[in-house]
Structure 1
């Protein structure tokens, strides 16, 4: 079985996206640097990851790419670099992580890693994975050790490659949520909710079992920061799902000053009420600063 979801080859490097870390809510990215043809002798390997959730997570990166937002960020960063006469353009997207000492192969080495999407010079974009010795922070994160030697692998890619990368993230996320929803005992509903019970000594009335009908299983995630990018899984009726969307929209307005696109919102409500499996997105823009953007993504499937 094919273990990777996506790959791209450059003259002296390549990157593969793998799904073997999805159970840890991570997308595995394997970067390899080599000497080039004909020998292609391996020179450096960095096994890194992007977490799924959060503004620095893979789901948000996919959204930025597929909506064209990352392209606009690139234009802005290039303009800023030119105005400041910077030699290099600042990264368009970064996601930091690593391995704490207790989980390392030798049980003692802490490693810092950083994934980034950069503007290219000979190519439209570049994927970069950086690694160096790390140390844990007081909050449990990992930061580079001061003065540590840093090693990086760069993989130049086209805009088309980047879109394929984003679509592969979408596929990985769908596989992850399928895995979550298929877990034993999963219902998507509140397990702590009180259950109606018959009074002691009184038998519950027996009624014919109703015919089973598909119920809507809805997965919602947003990039505005109100849930830290974590997906909200719901298994309920359309009216309940619309209520969830309304509440999240109110919260985005109140806490983040983000306003929903009216056409997107109305189309989403109609889509949910149609009970049709599929996906839809509501886009939001800042009330005071329209350049501030976010999205609310809704994916619907049917479960018996």
Structure 2
């Protein structure tokens, strides 16, 4: 039962017979999406065989933004066809990757100068599949730092790989879900008042006016409602038209979780799980105040399209601490050719 109450820790996922990948926002504080790849033995036991962690920057080369454009501009189809054609003409067993992103981490040493963690190189690639439309692959091995400060695979290093197959449709949905989560994250930061370098650095998410484990008799105040500022409509062109979509962002003032969905109906399901988690998974056992009235008010605002959605107040079991759950509408831009 406790397992069912656990809040979902990913924003997109894909599973196959012997592997899966989950996209998580636990590295959003440093401007990255975390891709967690796992290879397993398959049913019935599904025992883990290997795991590799990869990361995509929000913006720039090899980023979520670039991958999203690749999918929504349909360049992925053209590059797919060109890669398959080149492999056929040259007799290559595997087509070349049509998109890639790489990174790494520097080695770590102890106080005596001994290496306790070697330099790591990883790469995330999108390639045509042999038994599926697309394969999302992650590879890692011992790396070394380049002259420009980047990372490259060390010559002769052992390489580990995990592949996750996708259909074109599933891959597009996977990328769009990640893009929407990133867009919501950045919009939430902007609307909470983060500016300048704080936005660029993607400081760890924490509502500015949230109550953080403080007694009720302090001067703590309720989180201010985010201004529901409409995003200016983009200008459409013959080749590329932008469309705005609305997603709902739910987060708690304790900074424990943030969830994103594009369905008002899913908001109530997410709220129910978060409500149970705040009670069961915190030592304070937070409970919703005026639960019947609050739930009706939130549901009414969601389905009526009201400009603001009520913020929900939770009290600890001893009634000496409080926290809040906030739901906000965020407009995100999607591109269509």
TM-score normalised by length of structure 2: 0.56
* 2:176 is the counterpart of 1:167: yes
| 3-state SS of paired residue (1:118) | strand
Distance in 2, matches of 1:111 and 1:55, equals: 20
What are the superposed Cα offsets for residues 231-287 of structure 1, whole Å, 9 maximum, x if unpaired? Answer: xxxxxxx7xx99xx9xxxxxxxxxxxxxx945758x89xxxxxxxx6636597xxxx
Distance 1:5 1:281, change over 3 A: closer
- 2:300 matched to which residue of 1? none
Structure 2 stretches of 5 or more lacking a match? 1-6, 198-226, 244-330
Counterpart residue number, 1:21: 27
SS of match in other structure, 1:171: helix
Equivalent residue for 1:227? none
> Map of 1:217-256 to 2, 5 A cutoff?
none
Give yes or no for the alignment of 1:279 onto 2:333: yes
Partner Cα distance (2:187, 2:70) in 1:
23
- TM, length-normalised to structure 1: 0.62
Residue from 38, 55, 73 that aligns with 1:49: 55
Q: In structure 2, the residue corresponding to 1:4 is in which secondary structure?
A: coil
With CA pairs under 8 Å and 6+ residues apart, which has the higher RCO, 1 or 2? 2
Over 3 Å counting, the alpha-carbon distance change for 1:38 and 1:53 in structure 2 is same
Aligned residues: 212
Matched, 1:39 2:48: no
Structural RMSD (CA): 3.1
Distance 1:263 1:85, change over 3 A: closer
Matched, 1:88 2:91: no
The superposition leaves residues 188-213 of structure 1 with CA deviations (integer Å, 9 ceiling, x where unpaired) of 9xxxxxxxxxxxxxxxxxxxxxxxxx
Which of 154, 158, 177 aligns to 1:145? It is 154
Does structure 1 conserve the Cα–Cα contact (< 8 Å) formed by 2:137 and 2:164?
yes
- SS of corresponding position for 2:11: strand
The reply on whether 1:30 has 2:36 as its aligned counterpart is yes
Alignment correspondent of 1:65: 71
Q: Match of 2:125, SS?
A: strand
Q: 1:132 aligns with which of 119, 136, 141?
A: 141
Contact 2:73-2:335 at 8 Å conserved across structures: no
Specify the alignment match of 1:299 in structure 2.
none
Residue 119 of structure 1 deviates from its aligned partner by 0.5
Q: How far off its partner does 1:180 sit?
A: 3.0
Q: Which residue of 2 aligns with 1:222?
A: none
Measure the CA separation in 2 of the matches of 1:103 and 1:180: 35
The answer as to whether partners of 2:19 and 2:162 remain within 8 angstroms in 1 is yes
SS at match of 2:94: coil
TM-aligned CA distance change 1:179 to 1:137, over 3 Å: farther
Conserved? CA contact 1:181–1:187, under 8 Å = no
* Cα displacement string for residues 54-78 of structure 1 (whole angstroms, at most 9, x for unaligned residues): 1311111111112211011100111
1:178 matches 2:187: yes
Structure 1: runs of 5+ lacking an equivalent: 189-213, 219-237, 246-259, 269-276, 284-304
